[in-house]
Amino acid sequence: MADISLKDRVAIITGAGGGLGKSHALELARRGAKVVVNDLGAAIDGTGGSASAAEEVANHINASGGEAIADGANVTKADDVAAMLKAAMDKWGRVDILINNAGILRDKTFHKMTLADFKAVIDVHLIGSATCTHAVWPIMRERNYGRVVFTASPSGLHGIFGQANYGAAKAGMIGLMNALHLEGAKYDIRVNIVSPSARTRMTEDLGAPEPVLEMLTPEAITAAAVFLVSDDAPSRQIISCAGGGYATAHMVETGGAYLRPDKQTADEIAAHWDRISDKSDIKFYEDSNGPIANFIGKAQGRDG
């Protein structure tokens, strides 16, 4: 099998001054992509800012024979993102790949969390990803080519204590991906999610043992990201990955049950709960028509 080549592709990677984003930037550049290394240079909680992290990564790529420019756009600010896009277009005339990776943490249990902290995390992870994607979308439509990757988390898929804001932002990406997959299909814009667990400055304080942290390399996550931005990438996939393990995650429903009109009450739902929640007949649907068709079919068959 031939190696995946990204020769002459132009990629924007947010949060690329360190951690996963830096690993993505270096590997995309190694495979021939021209890279916009975006990083606000803020602290983990989103405060402060410095251009040095993005510049260091871009300089390393250029010194290694690749092509990169550094950018300090705040992904939550549309004007900043527009200027970042203009810089890429002025230099290379196209954008083929967007990896939404920028993020912050403000972990607290929900009853101790301020709404300001809740909103700040949503703004960077979800709104920031949407802002960057909205900016590149017209270019990708016009070129009939695009690869967009959102960076989610097990926190969004399964929940992590103390991360109501982070989990909500990451889960929101699933709905965004689903819609953009449908809207981008005719333009060969493929939209996916990587849901990583890796050792970065955002995870080192979570208390995992050192041998486990040593396994959780950013490079293992980058392998999934590169696959998802390649020419032959799938679309509407969530790759869950950690320490060299890879799986796809899916939103599914049980087969459920149909209740006749005279039984469509809370009491009957309670009486039929074991059947409604039975996981032995799990179904995956390509779009929202699936569950509707399932229920209509049950109604027509008088199931229940």
Distance CA 75, CA 161 (A): 26
d(CA 291, CA 236): 18
Report residue 131: phi and psi, to 5°.
-65, -45
pLDDT of residue 287: 80
In order of 54, 66, 90, 97, 187, the CA distances from 61 in angstroms are 11, 5, 19, 17, 31
10-249 classified as CATH 3.20.20.70:
no
Return the pLDDT at 207. 58
For residue 301, the model assigns a pLDDT of: 78
H/E segment holding residue 13: strand 10-13
- pLDDT for the residue 202: 52
Q: Could you state, in order of their start, the residue ranges of all structural domains in the chain?
A: 10-249, 252-300
- Decide if 24 contacts 37 (C-beta within 8 A): no
What was the pLDDT predicted at 286? 84
Query: Tens of pLDDT along the chain (304 residues)?
Result: 679 999 999 999 999 999 999 999 999 999 999 999 999 986 775 666 668 899 999 999 999 999 999 999 999 999 999 999 999 999 999 999 999 999 999 999 999 999 999 999 999 999 999 999 999 999 999 999 999 999 999 999 999 999 999 999 999 999 999 999 999 999 999 999 999 987 655 555 555 666 667 778 999 999 999 999 999 999 999 999 988 899 999 999 999 999 999 999 999 999 999 999 999 999 988 888 888 888 888 778 745 4
pLDDT of residue 304: 43
Q: Which residues are catalytic?
A: 166
The pLDDT of residue 47:
67
